Amino acid sequence: VISGCLLCAVALVFLVLLQGTQSVYIQYQGFQVQLKSVKQLNDLADQWVPSPGLQDQSPQPSVCHHPALPLDLRPICASKDAASIFQALRTIADDDCELCVNVACTG
């Protein structure tokens, strides 16, 4: 019974590691984010419009205030270049052919 549980635990760890290696990452301006997160960024930016008062008060891009912003994208919000970084990431993610040749993409 113990060896069966150990085998299951090893298999579970292997699957988790395998899943992590199958992600595509984009490295840009010192940030590394998952392509999946950037695709979510596109959806969030297209669907969510913050209140006008929030836009006027914050120097951050409005998507930084979205509660569903993926965790790996949140550190970008602290950058003074957040708006241009988000725009560049969205451009990279929109062009599937570019992903094959873009140096920023790994994985």
Confidence category of residue 106, pLDDT binned at 50, 70, 90: low
Q: Which residue has the tokens 């984010």?
A: 33
* Residue 62 lies in domain: 24-106
Helix axes 82-94, 35-47, angle to 10 degrees: 110
Report the number of distinct structural domains present in the chain.
1
Rounded distance between C-alpha atoms, residue 70 and residue 59, angstroms: 20
What local confidence, expressed as pLDDT, does residue 82 receive? 92
Long-range Cβ pairs for the range 98-103 (8 Å, 24+)? 99/24, 99/35, 102/26
Residue 18 lies in a domain: no
Residue 10 lies in a domain: no
Helix (H) or strand (E) holding 82: helix 82-94
pLDDT tens sequence across 22-65: 577 888 889 998 888 988 888 887 776 656 655 555 677 888 88
What local confidence, expressed as pLDDT, does residue 2 receive? 60
Q: Is residue 91 predicted with pLDDT exceeding 80?
A: yes
**More confident call, 7 vs 67:** 67
Residue 9 lies in a domain: no
What local confidence, expressed as pLDDT, does residue 31 receive? 92
Give mean pLDDT, residues 93-102: 58
Q: In the chain, which ranges are E strands?
A: 25-28, 31-34, 105-106
Residue 16 lies in a domain: no
